[in-house]
Amino acid sequence: MSEQHWIDLRSDTVTQPCEAMRAAMAAADVGDDVYGDDPTVNRLQEHAAELFGYEAGMFAPSGTQTNLIALMTHCGRGDEYLVGQEAHTYKYEGGGAAVLGSIQPQPIANQADGSIALADIEAYIKPDDMHFARTRLLALENTIGGRVLSQEYVAAATTLAHVRGLATHLDGARICNAAVKQNIGLREAVLGFDTVSVCLSKGLGAPVGSVLLGPKAFIEQGKRWRKMLGGGMRQAGVIAAAALYALEHNVQRLADDHDNAAALARGLAEIDALDVGTPQTNIFWLDVPAAACEPLRKALLDAGIRATVGPRMRLVTHLDISRADVDRTVGAFKSFFKNWQA
């Protein structure tokens, strides 16, 4: 394997900064961001807010933290937020809203397209009664499991929430993927959401960081939670420069990742033993025979391919995956299943 690079399909969080991004990091003007005087962080926050159409932005180390800050700013102790059972804020962020925010999540079943049925949202809003937690917020995710929420659905869901007196938050870990897939602008992609968390370290390719966007007063309040959660950073311009580069150069190229995911899915669908989903963006799922999982994992590693192998398997393309890597991966799968016996 020393002569080949690794193909890593586990996530789009594994990307490496390119030389131009590293140069931007090395040249970054820096200051102490806790005091608000890091010029590169300030430029990132202003640029992101302008791109997505919000008053202000706040840079933080992770999307988990920006989501938690949003939840803790929208909701008080004993309040609740409505959220899909598959959503990252509910399922994959360590229960932070409940543990650290004393916020009750009200999980609701996601539909096959990733949405939450409007009737279910309506049904789970609690009445104004001391027996119930106060429903304060609807939190959606786009994309969710690689699926894109339609603009029609987003408009209907956020309108319903606002009519019922709820705030709205978007976990936009891959919102740029959703915008590129739908061929719409970033501002249009977040219409209806009072706040949005935008992750910069997934398909956009920055090494670390997310921005929380919203009204200026909301962001100022959120900074207190960021400090309490340990997210106050000092000379953070070094990493903010990478995030700026990502926003300026790596949004439209997400279409390449979508195309590579589609090509990978098409190739794997030619293998009878696999049941392969159709990707909408850069993520798709396939079903693998349970008995094949461990030998397949070893075979892929031998071929220089990292993947999270299981009966229900997720593959993710990103800026470090080329079409040649796709072809090599399809070949490795086909070679394995040509000889594998159930």
Domains of the chain by residue range: 19-249, 253-339
Q: Which residues of 95-121 are buried (b: 16+ CB within 10 A; e: fewer)?
A: ebbeeebebbbbbbebeeebbbeeeeb
Name residues whose C-beta falls within 8 Å of residue 23's C-beta, 6 or more positions apart in sequence: none
CATH of 253-339, one of 3.90.1150.10, 3.40.50.300, 2.60.40.10, 3.90.1170.50: 3.90.1150.10
C-alpha–C-alpha distance, residues 113 and 103, integer Å: 27
Work out the percent of the chain whose per-residue pLDDT is above 90: 98
CATH topology identical between 19-249 and 253-339: no
C-alpha–C-alpha distance, residues 81 and 241, integer Å: 34
Match 């993927």 to its residue by tokens: 177
pLDDT of residue 341: 82
Which tens digit of pLDDT belongs to each residue from 27-36? 999 999 999 9
C-alpha–C-alpha distance, residues 321 and 308, integer Å: 16
Q: Please give the mean pLDDT across all residues of the chain.
A: 97
Rounded to whole angstroms, the maximal C-alpha distance in the chain is 66
Mean pLDDT on 233-254: 98
- Which residues, in sequence order, are bridge partners of residue 81? 105, 137
C-alpha–C-alpha distance, residues 247 and 251, integer Å: 6
Query: Among residues 326, 322, 319, which one has the least CA distance to residue 11?
Result: 319
pLDDT of residue 3: 60
44 and 52 Cβ atoms separated by less than 8 Å: no
Mean pLDDT on 123-138: 97
Which tens digit of pLDDT belongs to each residue from 60-112? 999 999 999 999 999 999 999 999 999 999 999 999 999 999 999 999 999 99
Measured CA to CA in angstroms, residue 304 lies from 162, 272, 298, 301, 308 at distances of 50, 23, 10, 5, 13
Q: Which fold has domain 19-249?
A: Aspartate Aminotransferase; domain 2 (3.40.640)
Lowest mean pLDDT among 1-15, 52-66, 76-90: 1-15
140 and 89 Cβ atoms separated by less than 8 Å: no
Work out the percent of the chain whose per-residue pLDDT is above 70: 99
Which tens digit of pLDDT belongs to each residue from 248-278? 999 999 999 999 999 999 999 999 999 999 9
C-alpha–C-alpha distance, residues 81 and 168, integer Å: 9
Query: Among residues 83, 144, 93, 88, which one has the least CA distance to residue 285?
Result: 144
Name the packing angle between helices 175-182 and 254-268 (round to 10°). Answer: 80
pLDDT of residue 91: 96
Measured CA to CA in angstroms, residue 194 lies from 123, 138, 150, 218 at distances of 22, 10, 18, 10
C-alpha–C-alpha distance, residues 39 and 235, integer Å: 10
pLDDT of residue 1: 44
